[in-house]
Chains A and B, each alone.
Chain A
Amino acid sequence: GAGVSQSPSNKVTEKGKDVELRCDPISGHTALYWYRQSLGQGLEFLIYFQGNSAPDKSGLPSDRFSAERTGGSVSTLTIQRTQQEDSAVYLCASTQGRNQPQHFGDGTRLSIL
């Protein structure tokens, strides 16, 4: 069965480079969330897309972070000019509706050298 798919599963890059992380949600799921999780820490909300509404970007930590969701499906999280503190696991989750359980992808482990 098709769950939430994230790519790449691991990404190692040099400080200052830009990275793009991809999330392919479950088909038909209208809502999509991005979270960041540092080692041993909780989930840090980044951004939330719900249908055609304007995204809730309140969790983005700086203007180096941006995300888009094309055609209401695939989403890309972009981090520009990466810093070492950006190293974390980036998790994507999708849900069928506003009040429904989230289903998580396996995450992208980002390491900034």
Chain B
Amino acid sequence: QKEVEQNSGPLSVPEGAIASLNCTYSDRGSQSFFWYRQYSGKSPELIMFIYSNGDKEDGRFTAQLNKASQYVSLLIRDSQPSDSATYLCAAFREKLTFGTGTRLTIIP
């Protein structure tokens, strides 16, 4: 079992809709969770991080954490074509561990 699992996609969402990206992790001791966006040929850039159970909102982005279910999600509201990218989920315990990413395509 991978430590951090994501559906590789591609996930296609119409422009203006909500994109929902999901991630599960195996280590119950994981303390913090991060979402990165990576455009093709570019480095990952931080979108959100979350430490506590519940929701955390930043603009069009909402991160959700459920430690009991070992589940992290990222919601993107009012999806834009510029949101098309690969989204990487990461969990930290002793070190940061990344999932393989979900490729998101926003359809105009």
Q: Which residues of chain A have a CB within 8 Å of any CB of chain B?
A: 33, 35, 41-43, 45, 48, 56, 91, 95, 98-99, 101-107
Q: How many A-B residue pairs have CB under 8 A?
A: 41
Residue of A nearest to B99 (CB): A42
Contact of A42 among B45, B46, B51, B98 (CB under 8 A): B98
Digitize B75-108: 1 where CB-to-A-CB distance is under 8 Å, 0 elsewhere: 0000000000000101010111111110000000
Please give, as numbers and ranges, the residues of chain A lying within 8 Å of B96 by CB-CB distance.
Answer: 33, 95, 102
The answer to whether A45 touches B46, judged by C-beta atoms less than 8 angstroms apart, is no
The answer to whether B46 touches A101, judged by C-beta atoms less than 8 angstroms apart, is yes
The answer to whether B95 touches A48, judged by C-beta atoms less than 8 angstroms apart, is yes
How many chain B residues touch A (Cβ–Cβ < 8 Å)?
21
When chains A and B are docked, how far (Å) is the Cα of A98 from the Cα of B96? 9
Contact of B49 among A41, A42, A101, A106 (CB under 8 A): A101
The answer to whether A91 touches B49, judged by C-beta atoms less than 8 angstroms apart, is no
Please give, as numbers and ranges, the residues of chain B lying within 8 Å of A48 by CB-CB distance.
Answer: 95
Given A42-B88, A43-B88, A104:B95 Cβ within 8 A: no
The answer to whether B44 touches A104, judged by C-beta atoms less than 8 angstroms apart, is yes
Provide a sorted-by-A list of 8 A–B residue pairs whose CB atoms are within 8 angstroms: A45-B98, A56-B95, A98-B92, A99-B32, A99-B92, A102-B90, A105-B43, A106-B43
